[in-house]
Structure 1
Amino acid sequence: MPGTTPKARAIGVELRRAREDAGLSARQLAEKIGKSHTTVGRWESGERSPRPVDVATVLSALGADNHLREELIELARNSNGRHWVASSLPEQQRQLAALLEIERDATLVVSASPLLVPGLLQTSRYARAIIGAGGVPADEVETRVAVRLGRRDSIMRSDPAQLLALIDETVLRRVIGAVDVLAEQLRAICEVMQRPNVEVRIIPLSAGWHPALEGPFDLFESNNRARVVHVENRRSGQFFHEQDDVKAYQDAVSWLRNVSHDPEESLQLIADVIDEMEAEL
């Protein structure tokens, strides 16, 4: 689906921000560049991919700095490409902006987590322990924690996305921060599992090998948008949106559902682990 790619979403975020910083409405900008306001709106929403010349025209009209203009023009050169790998810091920041937009629009989020509690379920102390130990500069830790906690709005708002969290059993026993931090985190998961839009399934150790052991991933579905998958490691993030690529992850989700405990069994397992930890505190 041209124009609904993660890169198009990232470009749209930046174009909208630049326009708002310039104090212009979409209609005013459209008049300045000789385009319809619906075209500008589609660029900003990511529904249509602007050409590099369009990006240059918009940012020149808005008086944006040359650095931003060069970055977005380069991003627009292959906005409909098969996938998007972001390894530089500026591109990672643009990818995060796209991820936040995609999460906000999602009707379904599937998070496969073999190593850590999924970001949408993390408590502040658990998130802080991860971010603080990950080499993030001390003056950036609280900002990043706030961003991560803010992402939970996608499943907590009045019209929330459905969340399917597929979590490996080892995550329940991996002490992050301290035992009391992990216990608090597991209690928070039990609490959020009471929400009708949240389904948590634990993949037991007895499942053996499963696709999530190849690495964590998030799959997003939304109305009138192509499904996208996001994966990341320590040095880069990557989006997939081509149908064949996404289907490979959908097949992985089906596998994980088949080998995981159902929600009731998962809740009981988490409760049992909490009891074991609290006996040690």
Structure 2
Amino acid sequence: MSGSTRTSASLNLGERLRKAREARGLSLRKLAEVMGEKPSYSGVISRWETGDRLAKAEDVAKIVEALELDADEAAELTEFASASAAGSKSSWLAVTLPERRQQLNALLAAEATATKVTHVAPLLIPGVLQTADVIRAIMVDGGVPDDEIDERVYTRLGRRDLITRKNPAQLDVLLEETAVRRVVGSREIQADQLRYLLELAELPNVDIRLVPYSAGWTRAATGDFILLESDQASPLVSLDLHGSGLMLHARDDVALYRRVAAEVREKAISPADTAEFIARVIIELEEEK
């Protein structure tokens, strides 16, 4: 819906509220009754669950009490409500680990409803296109604790649903040459990654274009970002910073990153030329073994 007031934060929180209510077998009217409200209040709850309105922390606290959630569930939902309030603002900077986790949940929710995703990736192939071996190598080199690696690999692989689900999003990826030449894990792992990239590029909803070194400087050099657009929620920009994450919802911010993506696209080579370029890099990797 054009101009929707829904955000990834309100959609994600709404889904969690709905699941918590349905898990206890309560209708909207029954929940309103248990909360001590009039039957018409079920309409307010419904708008929270659909993401048309963002429930405030105090509203969520009342729902938690009415549903008689256990301590862990109550704490998780209350914490998520606070994070969602932050995520509904024009900008959301997540610094602490709990905030980063909540922001990742918001990003996953945005991907679940996205109709178009533009990813400008100057240094590394985007996670949604990475192989399990590359993901694991990044986790190991990044110092992720051994007992967390499998779960993180599984989570990142799950993001591939963005382009393979029944109604997939259109994914436009703008890579700089460094992203395909950087050897992650080993030459063999990188060659497998590039072959997989060519395979995904065959999907009708995936457009991969490369900016070669010969194109000179582009604004992609200022950093990686993801622009997510949806028929159900307002657009957002996600930036992964060192030790923190930033989400932008303001119209001017989104417009700026749209322009940056358009400028980078002008210097990129065509999808066909990109495929040929990647194929040559694969040969180089295999010859260096």
TM-score normalized by the length of structure 2:
0.89
1:238 aligns with 2:246: yes
Q: Which residue in the other structure is 1:144 paired with?
A: 152
Alignment correspondent of 1:8: 10
Match of 1:261 in 2: 269
Q: How is 1:12-161 mapped onto 2 (pairs within 5 angstroms)? A: 12-19=14-21, 22=24, 24=26, 26=28, 28-33=30-35, 34=37, 36-64=41-69, 65=71, 67-68=75-76, 71-72=79-80, 74-75=82-83, 80-161=88-169
Letter in 2 for 1:177: G
Separation in structure 1 between the aligned mates of residue 231 and residue 13 of structure 2, nearest angstrom: 20
Cα distance in 2, alignment partners of residues 78 and 102 from structure 1: 15
CA contact (8 A) 2:225 2:239 kept: yes
Question: Alpha-carbon deviations, 1:201-260, whole Å to 9, x = none?
Answer: 001112222222111111111113211111112311111111001001000110011010
Question: Which has the higher mean CA deviation after the structures are superposed, 67-76 or 122-131?
Answer: 67-76
Gaps of at least 5 residues in structure 1 are none
CA distance in 1, matches of 2:4, 2:203: 35
Fraction of identical pairs, as percent: 41
Of the structure 1 ranges 201-210 and 161-170, higher mean CA displacement relative to structure 2 is found in 201-210
Structure 2 residue identity aligned to 1:97: N
Task: Give the C-alpha shift of residue 88 in structure 1.
Answer: 1.5
Of 237-246 and 76-85, the range deviating more from structure 2: 76-85
Q: Distance in 1 between matches of 2:162 and 2:41?
A: 31
Distance 1:94 1:259 in 2: 35
Q: How does 1:127-276 map to 2 (within 5 A)?
A: 127-276=135-284
- CA-to-partner distance for each residue in 1:149-193, whole Å, 9 max, x for gaps? 111011012221110011111111111000011000000010111
SS at match of 1:218: strand
- Figure out how many residues of one structure are paired with residues of the other and give that number: 281
Gaps of 5+ in 2: none
**Residue deviations 1:42-68, cap 9 Å, x none?**
323422111232122112222343633
Aligned CA-pair RMSD: 2.2
Letter in 2 for 1:202: L
Q: Structure 2 vs 1, CA of residues 45 and 176 (structure 1 numbering), >3 Å: closer, same or farther?
A: farther
Q: TM-score, normalised by structure 1?
A: 0.91
Contact 2:173-2:209 within 8 A present in 1 as well? yes
Matching residue's letter, 1:264: A
Cα shift readout 1:58-96 (whole Å, capped 9, x = no counterpart):
122223436336524533655542211111122211111
Q: Write the letter of the residue equivalent to 1:5.
A: T
CA separation of 1:77 and 1:171: change in aligned 2, threshold 3 A: closer
- In structure 2, distance between residues paired with 1:2 and 1:89: 30
Matched-pair contact (CA < 8 Å) for 1:56–1:73 = no
Task: Name the SS for the 1:247 alignment partner.
Answer: helix
Alpha carbons of 1:265 and 1:27: their partners in 2 closer, same or farther (altered >3 Å)? Answer: farther
What is the distance in 2 between the residues matched to 1:175 and 1:79?
Answer: 35
Equivalent pair of 2:113/2:232 in contact (CA under 8 Å): no
